[in-house]
Amino acid sequence: MALKNHDFNDLVRLEQLRHIETGQPQALSYAGIASMEAYPASGFSYAAFLERLLDRAHHLVHDNHLDEVLQQPEKLFIRASRIILLLAAVLGGLAAVNAASESSTLNIYWLLVVLLGFNFLSMLLWCAGILLSVQGLSSGIAAQLACWLPFQLKKRESDSTGTFAARAWWETCLSGRVGRWRISMLTHQFWLVYLLAGMGVLILLMLAKQYDFVWGTTLLPENSLPELTRLLGVPMQHIGLAVPDGQQIAASRIGAGVQDSVIRSAWAEFLVGALIVYGLLPRLILMLLAFFMLKLSEYRYKLDLYLPYYVTLRQSLIAKEFVTSVIDRDPGMAKESLEPITRAKHSRRFPENALVIGVELDSHAIWPEGLVCQENVADQKTFARVSEMLKKSKGALVIGVAAHRLPDRGVQRMVRELATLVSGQIWLILLQSSPAIPVAESRRQAWYRLAQTCAIPAEHILS
């Protein structure tokens, strides 16, 4: 894996700022970034753009004193997680005490069911949820509560900066692939603490009191539980743990008589070994797997650069760089070095000889100055004519669409098919009938998604 100059927390901070700027821009001061210039780049680079975003975010956070606000959601989640783990310890201890009861006998299999049964069922549901991508199965109720509670408490506040920061943290860290593995981590931690607490209380009880271990059944065959004991003991024997033999198992049948210390010691070791081998070790392995997948998901996480917020910043923070040179130079002229010229931040220049077309535009669409629509694709006839023009042309394509309407399936199909015929650059312009009427964010987002599916760069989307 290539080294990166940022970590997942930096991306979370960017997402928090996006929510704050989108929902409450008037609450921020932009004085510190007003003088930031566009970074010249000959081609778009995710790393370069991210560097500019992080630099901008650093100034915004510093100027507006947002450090505490942005860190608060994570602190609330950690606090809720600790409460949930404390609850797991209490439940594990109570389960062991309840299974042991006040008598001097321990029903070995009832104790295993109490401590391992729900844990085993939880593991099965988790595996099914991961394989079927059903988050409700792969995350336990307690883990979901730890994720849900801080966010709900934050939502009770008014639409403040902290509320937007909490919503961004929740969406970034507790949803998608990152959220799936983060909640899985908390689920496995819950059951590990539950098992450790239960085993610890059980060991303390056996140290302080003498117990006889018994087993019995009414519905199952007589040899079923002894056979189960032998099967469960196979892995434990490989790691050096003692397993009761046939005579010790028979002597532990309910009503068989008084047990000696050897039988009690063998069953106690078997009980602790079963909790370790069939409870703690599988949970520990799954927790380590979830931790590895969480870090991998965080490493692979990328910002959605086709959101309107990032499209706007992508156009303003990254300036295009053109190279000028003399074509067909006079042989008598000295060789002239290439000179990079960076455009102004807000200027837009299209390639020469670009084919400019519209897609289902009306007569009120306002084109940018200097652009003349050569053809308006409104039916199959005009679509076929434009397709022939594109096949003969090797230049760029400028597509104008009506920003006020949502791209239906017909428009989406036309734009996609036209994009496949172009060998040069493609530009998408969102045209308005009246500049005074703002374009709805949902409609703008729909056009950006269409551009993404057609592999049109975000800096080639103009509105």
- The tens place of each residue's pLDDT in the chain, 463 residues long, gives 445 678 999 999 999 999 999 888 888 888 878 776 655 555 677 888 888 899 999 999 999 999 999 999 999 899 989 999 999 999 999 988 888 766 778 888 888 888 898 899 999 989 988 888 776 666 666 666 666 666 665 555 566 888 899 889 988 998 889 998 999 999 999 999 999 999 999 999 998 888 888 888 888 887 888 888 888 888 888 888 878 888 888 887 776 666 778 888 888 889 999 999 999 999 999 999 999 999 999 999 999 988 889 988 887 776 544 333 333 444 443 433 333 333 334 445 667 778 899 998 888 888 888 788 888 888 889 889 988 888 887 788 899 998 888 888 888 888 888 888 888 888 898 998 877 777 788 888 888 888 888 888 887 888 7
Confidence at residue 297, expressed as pLDDT on a 0 to 100 scale: 95
pLDDT of the residue at 137: 63
Spatial separation of the C-alpha atoms in residues 58 and 62, rounded to whole Å: 6
Host H or E run for residue 442: helix 441-453
Could you tell me which residues come within 8 angstroms of residue 401 by beta carbon, excluding any fewer than 6 positions away?
358, 359, 360, 361, 407, 411, 415, 428, 429, 430, 431, 447
d(CA 199, CA 88): 13
Contact 302, 4 (CB under 8 A): no
In the block, residue with structure tokens 């102004």 = 344
Integer CA distances (angstroms), 294 to 13, 176, 179, 299, 333, in order: 18, 11, 8, 9, 61
What is the four-CA torsion angle of 18, 24, 26, 27, rounded to 10 degrees? -90
What number of other Cβ atoms are within 10 A of residue 433's Cβ?
Answer: 15
Q: Whose CA is closest to 296, among 129, 161, 180, 137?
A: 180
User: What does DSSP assign to residue 334?
Assistant: P
Question: Between β-strands 339-342 and 318-324, what pairing exists: parallel, antiparallel or unpaired?
Answer: antiparallel
Helix (H) or strand (E) holding 322: strand 318-324
Distances (CA, A) of 70 to 13, 20, 152, 166, 323: 7, 10, 17, 8, 42
CB 171 within 8 A of CB 165: no
> What's the full length of the chain, in residues?
463
Residue the block writes with tokens 């022939």: 388
Beta strands in 175-284 (DSSP E): 212-214
Report the alpha-carbon distance of residue 47 to residue 119 in Å, rounded: 44
CA angle 6, 21, 311 (to 5 degrees): 65
